[in-house]
Structures are given as C-alpha cells and as structure tokens.
Structure 1
Amino acid sequence: MCTAVVYRNGKTYCGRNLDNSCSYGEEIVVMPRNFPLRFRHADEMKHHHAIVGTASVMKGVPLYYDAMNEEGVWAAGLNFVGNAIYSKASGASGEVAHFEFIPWILSQCSDIEQVRGLLKKLTIVDTPFDTDVPPAQLHWIVADRSGASITVESVVDGLRVYDNPAGVLTNNPPFPMQLSGLGRYMALSSKEPENLMAPRIPLSSSSYGTGAIGLPGDLSSESRFVRAVFVKENSAVTDPEEESIGQFFHILDSVAFPQGCCDLGNGLYEKTIYSSCCSLENGIYYYTTYENRQITAVDMSREDMENTQLARFAMERKQRIFFRN
C-alpha cells in the first residue's frame, strides 16, 4: 500500500510513502550519466540523464521505487494488484519490462510532453527481473517541474495514460475510479461550515475543523487518496525551501501507516517503510524512515555526474534525537 503526491508551492515537490510489512534493503542510489543502462528488450544506453532515487540494487541493477532525473522529471511505481496486466514479450520494438519503466522514462525525458511521446511507442512486458523475482503488479505516476502529472496503467485493454489533475495516486481501484470518487467530498472545506441545513436554528460548531467532517480517516487506498488530496490542496506555507519540504512530509504523514494499525497476520504489520520528497528544481532527494524521523538528504549534484558507477547511500534508520540541555 502506498501514496504518491505532487505538490507545487512556487517550486514542485514530488514524493511518496512506501508502505509494506518489511524492507527490501532500499538505498538512495545516484545513477550518473555514463552508467550503462542495459534493457532486456531494447538497446543499451551508454549515456543518459542522471537519476537519483530509492532503489533495491540487485546484481548491480538499481530497481527504482521512485526517482527523479537531473532535468526535473519524477516517477514512482505503486502496487496495483489485480489490475496490472502486462504483455508478453514478442520481440517488437518499444517493449520494456515493468521493472525498467522508471529508468526508461527518466533516462530520456526532460518534461512531461516528452514522456507522453515515449509512451505512445511503449509496451510494458511481463519479463521478470530474475527467476526468483516475479513481476510486480504496478501502476505509475510521472510529473515534471511544471507540476503537471500523469498516471500510467497497463491494464487488460492496453496501456492507458491519464492526466492527473489531483497530483495524487494510491493503489486500487484504477485511477479513473480514484479520481471520480472525489466527487463525493466536494462539500468538504478547511473553513468553518455555514449553516445550510436549518438557517432558522442558531447552530454553531463545537470545534475548529468541522468543515472537514466526512473526510475519510481509514487506511484504505480510496480513503488515502481523498485525504491526501484534501490535505495537499489546503496546505498553506510560504515559499522557503525548508518550509515546503517540511510541509510535504506533513502531507505524507496524514496518510502514513503506524505499525500495528494494519494487521496482516502472522506477526506482520503494514507500516510506512520510508517517505520521500524530491525537490525537482534543486535535484535533492529528501527522505525519512519509519525508524528515523529526521529528514536526510542526498544532493545528486554533489556526485560525479559523468561517472560510470552507481553512488549508493544506505538509509539512515537509527532514530536521531536532538537534546537541548
């Protein structure tokens, strides 16, 4: 279970919660411009845009969960179990394995229009990464510095690309149903409600925040979608980078999984393994983990962008506490 958000506050910030019952050894991985990108069904790419994001590195290959490139394009893959349908590889041009989708897009594109152009020629195939790593059922959200975003879903009737005016994506149902579900909550407001029910009766609110009564508070994908949109659309901070980054993590906190609240059985609990915030203008990848709430950053520009080797940074998982006395 996951939630991804695109937030614009003068600049554009993108990121996600990765919700799962366990970690898979995620790292922050910088892929420089000359790292050889070898695709299963496409030509090797020896030179490309540099990329930074969270990935599990297997056999020297970064399997990105979410990432951005140096041009300010960001992408994230979220579980889409039961609805993701990939094609069988046929040898035709334009075939990309599902685990290659993020580097395929980010290595080549400088804005969302270039992404759309690539997608017109793309077929996502079910080639597994390895014999013991079955295909993950995913859909994706992609955004650029302008704040424009799209959702990409490979379903039973082919590849579908949707404008995403909400700038939010969760898991199921398919994106058109997520978006249409917002219509049930149009009356919600960050302001105090007006007495429309019985104007003759002197009614008053018992508390601040009653304009949001009806906002779903459960952890389901549909409810998290609505809640993330409400919190994001009503966020109010000034322009400094630090405030916007802090606000972004507050948005993600509103849809996070505290351990124990989603019991999977056998002692397993869904929890927010990590949360990320990508500053698309500055090329800095910020994150927190479940164990460590301090924001940690990796600045891709501080690495040798012309290198041929990955730069890998283990996630900070030990809680850091600042004592004032």
Structure 2
Amino acid sequence: MYQNAEGNWFLARTMDFSFELGGRPVVIPRNFHFKSDATEAGFDTKLGFAGAGRDLKGYILVDGVNEAGVGAATLYFDGLAKFAEHNEATKTNLAPHEVINWILGNVASVADLKAKINHVNIVAIANELFKMIVPLHWIVADKTGACVVLEQDENGMKVMDDPVKVMTNSPDFQWHLKNLNNYVQLKATSHSSKKYGEFESDAYGLGSGALGLPGDYTSVSRFVRAAFIRQNTEKAATTSGAINALSHILNSVEIPKGVKADNEGGCDYTQYRGYMDLDEGAYYMQPYDDQTITRVVLIPELLNASEPSEYPLQTEQQFHSVN
C-alpha cells in the first residue's frame, strides 16, 4: 500500500510466475453471477470491479479494485495453505482461485470483510488451468488505509491486520513481521563514522544506512526490501505521481526473466505489475514486455453493463485510458 500527499491510498503488486497467465484488464459489472468449481449454484456479487483476469469458462481475477474502494490481490502460499475438504451448506463455498471475485464483488471495506469472511468456506478444489489446488493467501485493503492479510492453514482462517502494509509469499505473515526485527539498523540516512582503535572509518558516500538490506529474490528478502523502500519513499503530490512512485518501489522487487530459475528449466518472472487507485476506482496494468501502463476506470457504463468488459493491453509507450 502507498498513500500520496493528497491522502489517497493505493495498492500495488507484482505478479510473479513461471507459467504464462495471459491476464488482461477486465471489468466485472454489478450484480453478476459467477459459476463456481465448488458448487453447481455458483455465487452472486453486488459490486462492480476491475482487475487482471482471464476468461477460463468464466472469469477468474487475481487482483483488482471495486467501486467501494476495496483492493485485493492473491499471492502464492506454498506449503502452508490448507483448505476445507468438504462444502458447508450454511456457507458460501468457494475454490481458492474464486476468493478474489467474491471479495471484490461483495465487500465494501476491510471492516465489512471481517464481518463476512466467517460465512465463507474455502474448499480444496483444483484450478482447471493449473490442474492443482492452488495454495493461496490474500491481501485486502480499502480507501481508508485499512489493510489485512488472509491466511488459511491447518488451524483455520486467520484475518490479520497488516501494520506494515506489505505482503509477499511464504512463510506466513506473522513470521515476516518478526523477521523485520533483524533489520532495525536500516535507515534512509547514512550511518555516522566509527572508530576502531585510533582509526576512524567513514562511509563512501550516502546510502550506508541501507547496508544489510537483502537483495535476493526470495519472498523473505523481498518483504524486507519492499517494507524499507515503501516506508522511506517520498509521498507524491498527485495520482499520476503516486503511480510513478509505486512503479519505482516495485522496481526494487521486480524479477527479471532468468534470475529466479528452477531445476526443470523454468523461471519465475514478473509478468506484470498491477496498480489499484482505491479512491478513484481505477486499475492500472503494466506488462513485462512493454512498460506501457493501461488504465481502466470504473465508470457507470461499465458498472451497469450486462456482461464483463475485457481490454487488450496497449503497446504504445504512453498511458491509455478506458473511460
């Protein structure tokens, strides 16, 4: 999350994956009915929202912002996510990959989410694209600056306030918070000189306050790096300035192709960056292969449409607005 000088809040993320997801900007209108892999009945939504998604016999979104100013994103929670084995008749049953659709379509604030999440049952059902039960957890924020992380493990659903306003992948969120205690020496200003016997050492230029900031591509290091840089980045004066500032913050954790490889020849990389203006209700998508940002705004014509609206990513080096 990021707040500009006008007091407006934004949520931004990198989507890092080795499998080509093929997402693009999508707007889901108000009062929409989703099919579900968990139940034949599916589920209904009330609020319109925009985000990154794909039509896979029904739209699946992985992040986005709704008309009430709620933003949400799903991230990998490998090795720790644990979902229900069976449906519950008294609850809304969802597959893990359907949770973002439900949140953005039905939740008007973080407080509203806290009141409603216990009426949801997340069931261990495979995603058709990946042919597996996708291990996920979620970050949810609203335009007041409230922010929570949702994690479901063997002990059930946890709804945790996020005071750092940063989230990455495994380990669990509480572990990441405790790990920040190992980096209390980090600061934006330089460290003072230090004496060793009669010798006085001094830093070579500015920036010594960030000595020890981890620079690798593990989720552990990226959490620390994002928390430090977010905390110390100046507040932009305008919305466009905020998107620009967020792009620079995410530059610090973006994964170029080839630097995070597995042993089977694949590699994770940042397929796109998503920026969510929680005040305006606008979604920005910036793909890896072309740094052009496509902007989609939730206007009445889109919110009241009878079907979802889908937009190709722009390729010219300029902002492109759909409004």
TM-score by length of 1: 0.90
Equivalent residue for 2:76?
A: 79
Query: SS of the residue aligned with 2:9?
Result: strand
In 1: Cα distance, 2:70 partner to 2:318 partner: 34
Q: Give yes or no for contact 1:42–1:93 (8 Å, CA) kept in 2.
A: no
Letter paired with 2:305: N
Secondary structure of the corresponding residue to residue 183 of structure 1: helix
| Structure 1 segment 205-216 matched on structure 2, within 5 A | 205-216=203-214
Alignment of 1:94-133 (within 5 A): 94=91, 95-130=93-128, 133=131
In structure 2, stretches of 5+ residues that fail to align are none
1:13 and 2:17 equivalent?
Answer: no
Contact in 1 for aligned 2:149/2:160 (Cα 8 Å) = yes
Shift of 1:290: 0.7
Partner of 1:120, secondary structure, is: helix
8 Å CA contact retained: 2:65, 2:282: no
Q: Distance in 2 between matches of 1:131 and 1:64?
A: 13
Work out the CA distance in 1 between the residues paired with 2:274 and 2:289: 14
The 2-side partners of 1:120 and 1:77 are apart by 18
Change (3 A) 1:174 1:56: same
2:195 and 2:201 in contact (8 A); partners too: no
Distance 1:197 1:71, change over 3 A: farther
Q: State the distance in 2 between where 1:199 and 1:167 align.
A: 42
State whether residues 19 and 270 of structure 1, in contact with CA within 8 Å, keep that contact through their aligned partners in structure 2. yes
Choose the corresponding residue for 2:243, options 223, 239, 245. Answer: 245
**Does 2:31 align with 1:34?**
yes
Cα pair distance change 1:144/1:199, threshold 3 Å: farther
Write out per-residue CA displacement over residues 102-141 of structure 1, whole angstroms, 9 at most, x where no aligned residue.
Answer: 1212212111100001113322111234497322100111
Name the residue aligned to 2:257: 259
Q: Distance in 1 between matches of 2:233 and 2:32?
A: 39
Question: What SS does structure 1 have at the residue aligned with 2:204?
Answer: coil
Question: Which residue in 1 is equivalent to 2:219?
Answer: 221
Picking from 285, 299, 302, the partner of 1:301 is 299
Asked if the contact 1:34/1:307 (under 8 Å) is kept, the reply is no
1:136 maps to 134
Change (3 A) 1:130 1:257: closer
Determine whether 1:63 maps to 2:60.
yes
User: Which segment is superposed worse, 50-59 or 120-129?
Assistant: 120-129
* Aligned equivalent of 2:283: 285
Instruction: Give how far 1:195 is off.
Output: 3.7
The structural deviation recorded for 1:43 is 5.9
**Which amino acid counterpart does residue 243 of structure 1 have in structure 2?**
G
Are residues 46 and 272 of structure 1, via their aligned partners in 2, closer, same or farther at CA, if it must alter by over 3 Å?
closer
Distance 2:260 2:129 in 1: 30
Alpha carbon RMSD of aligned pairs, Å?
Answer: 2.2
Find the aligned partners of 1:237 and 1:197 in 2 and give their Cα distance.
36
Q: TM-score, normalised by structure 2?
A: 0.91
How much has 1:13 moved relative to structure 2?
0.6
Corresponding residue number in structure 2 for 1:183? 181
Where structure 1 has 5 or more consecutive residues not aligned to the other structure, the ranges are 1-5
Quick one: structure 1 residues 123 and 78, their matched pair in 2 at CA, closer, same or farther if it must change by over 3 Å? same
Aligned with 1:309: secondary structure?
Answer: coil
1:213-240 C-alpha deviation (Å, 9 max, x unpaired): 0000000000000000001000103321
Question: Are 1:192 and 2:226 an aligned pair?
Answer: no
Give the paired residue count: 315
Equivalent position SS for 1:281: coil
Q: Distance in 1 between matches of 2:197 and 2:305?
A: 69
Amino acid at match of 2:81: A
- Residue 93 in structure 1 maps to residue 79 in structure 2: no
User: Is the 2:87–2:121 Cα contact (8 Å) retained in structure 1?
Assistant: no
Is the alpha carbon distance of 1:192 and 1:118 closer, same or farther for their aligned partners in structure 2, counting shifts above 3 Å?
same
Report the Cα distance in structure 2 between the residues aligned to 1:145 and 1:78, rounded to whole angstroms.
21
**Shift of residue 196 of structure 1?**
5.9
Counting aligned pairs with the same residue, the percent is: 30
